[in-house]
């Protein structure tokens, strides 16, 4: 199986690894896991007073495709509104990274994480509607699809 240059780049030089203060008012945290492969992913966003995502960080313990997908997603969501971020689909991630079909579920993880986190940021942000976090879960579901035998 061959991987695209973009995927390898995000895997070898992941962007925005780290954590934001999860108790901060303007930070939303999305946690999502794929128990079948034991992967776990955390995505966090910081939302500015203008409603735009100022910063995004991730921590992913999982396969290379899951790491690359979360890295890509943190780049994509910056500067977007939460509503815009929620429109990111696993198929967009998979297409951009040219994930092989068996890896598509790794992009689901990232998408789940985005949705979960966005909702949570919404709830915390005084200017936005109250909602429950979605960024983690769907993002994962959208990012990480791989066969069990594949490390």
Q: Report in angstroms how near the CB of residue 111 gets to another protein at its nearest.
A: 10
144 catalytic per annotation: no
Identify which of residues 37 and 97 has a Cβ nearer to another protein in the complex. Answer: 37
106 catalytic per annotation: yes
Contacts of 38 (CB under 8 A, 6+ apart): 62
- R_g over Cα of the chain: 14
Q: Does 56 bind another protein (CB under 8 A)?
A: no
Asked if 146 and 102 touch (Cβ cutoff 8 Å), the reply is yes
Q: Does 101 bind another protein (CB under 8 A)?
A: no
* Burial degree of 36 (CB within 10 A; 0-12, 13-18, 19+): exposed
Q: Report in angstroms how near the CB of residue 75 gets to another protein at its nearest.
A: 22
> Where do we find the tokens 């780290």?
18
Q: Judged by CB under 8 A, which of 36, 79, 83, 87 binds another protein?
A: 36
* Active-site residue (options: 34, 41, 53, 106): 106
And the tokens for 137? 């879960």
Q: Does 128 bind another protein (CB under 8 A)?
A: no
The residues that touch another protein, with contacts defined as CB under 8 A, are 31-38, 40, 42, 59, 61, 104-105, 108-109, 112, 116, 136-138, 140-141, 144-148
Active site residues: 37, 106
């Amino acid at each position: 199986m061959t991987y695209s240059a973009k995927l390898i780049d995000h895997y070898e030089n992941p962007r925005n690894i780290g954590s934001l203060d999860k108790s901060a008012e303007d930070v939303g945290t999305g946690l999502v896991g794929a128990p079948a492969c034991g992967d776990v992913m955390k995505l966090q966003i910081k939302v500015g007073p203008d409603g735009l995502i100022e910063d995004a960080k991730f921590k992913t313990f999982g396969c290379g495709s899951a790491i690359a997908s979360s890295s890509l997603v943190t780049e994509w969501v910056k500067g977007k509104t939460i509503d815009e971020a929620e429109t990111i689909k696993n198929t967009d991630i998979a297409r951009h990274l040219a994930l092989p079909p068996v890896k598509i579920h790794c992009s689901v993880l990232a998408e789940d994480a985005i949705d979960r986190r966005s909702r949570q940021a919404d709830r915390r942000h005084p200017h936005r509607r109250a909602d429950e976090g979605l960024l983690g879960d769907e993002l994962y579901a959208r990012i990480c699809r791989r066969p069990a035998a594949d490390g």
